[in-house]
């Protein structure tokens, strides 16, 4: 696979169901472009899947942007990586003739997905953010009317404080997004509860 400057190592699976929006899968720290493919197939059967690998390495583990410490983001890098990912999404849409995708991001992937919403409003049809945090200390102003967002947080999550998840929901709602926020009795890992809620939310789009 040839990689251009704005391209990412990625997997692309053409969908069998043209009524479903394409699903952009953004993995968590230490995973890669293969990690969320099974999850995507479960929650959106027949949908086109686009799954890039984060370009940043932290102790050999792929991520989508740098962090200074756990829960402390390198916001300059986050902005640059977000814009680079947005360019990849637009190029993939043109290359494959895709409609606006719904992003499904987990952990680090959910954080850059939230950044995509705020920095590139209108690029995504919707977003399922699993264990996401507020990406910026001073979030950019965005107009997200018509954008559906599912936010799944864990009440026992040792990485994402409940107040942070609630703040992210408010930021997106204040920007005009239709946010469904569920605080689940879970930690940072994913469960069948995440699968069921995400599948039902996608089916209703």
Maximum pairwise Cα distance, the chain: 43
Sign of CA pseudo-dihedral 38, 78, 158, 70? positive
Task: Please choose, from the candidates 52, 79, 49, the residue with its C-alpha nearest in 3D space to the C-alpha of residue 63.
Answer: 52
Among 32, 83, 182, 188, the one annotated catalytic: 188
Task: Please choose, from the candidates 42, 21, 24, 45, the residue with its C-alpha nearest in 3D space to the C-alpha of residue 33.
Answer: 24
Q: Is 138 exposed, middle or buried (0-12, 13-18, 19+ CB in 10 A)?
A: exposed
Among 107, 115, 153, 165, the one annotated catalytic: 107
Among 35, 153, 157, 194, the one annotated catalytic: 157
- Parallel/antiparallel/unpaired status of strands 72-73 and 102-106: unpaired
Residues 6+ apart with CB under 8 A from 17: 45, 46, 47
Instruction: State the CB neighbour count (10 A cutoff) for residue 34.
Output: 12
Clarify whether 107 is annotated catalytic: yes
What tokens appear for 158 in the block? 């040792």
H or E stretch including 109?
A: helix 108-119
Clarify whether 10 is annotated catalytic: no
List residues with catalytic annotation: 107, 157, 188
């Amino acid at each position: 696979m040839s990689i251009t400057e704005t391209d990412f190592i990625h997997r692309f699976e053409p969908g069998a169901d043209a009524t479903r929006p394409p699903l952009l899968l953004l993995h968590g720290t230490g995973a890669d472009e293969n990690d969320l493919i099974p999850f995507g197939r479960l929650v959106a059967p027949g949908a086109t899947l686009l799954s890039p690998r984060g370009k940043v390495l932290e102790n050999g583990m792929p991520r989508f942007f740098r962090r200074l410490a756990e829960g402390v983001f390198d916001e300059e890098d986050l902005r640059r990586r977000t814009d680079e990912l947005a360019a990849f999404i637009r190029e993939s849409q043109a290359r494959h003739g895709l409609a606006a995708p719904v992003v499904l991001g987990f952990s680090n992937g959910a954080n850059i997905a939230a950044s995509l919403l705020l920095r590139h409003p209108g690029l995504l049809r919707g977003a399922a953010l699993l264990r996401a945090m507020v990406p910026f200390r001073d979030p950019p102003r965005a107009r997200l009317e018509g954008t559906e967002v599912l936010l799944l947080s864990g009440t026992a999550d040792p990485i994402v404080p409940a107040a942070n998840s609630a703040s992210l929901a408010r930021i997106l709602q204040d920007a005009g997004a239709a946010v469904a926020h569920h605080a689940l009795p879970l930690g940072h890992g994913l469960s069948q509860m995440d699968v069921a809620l995400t599948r039902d939310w996608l089916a209703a789009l």
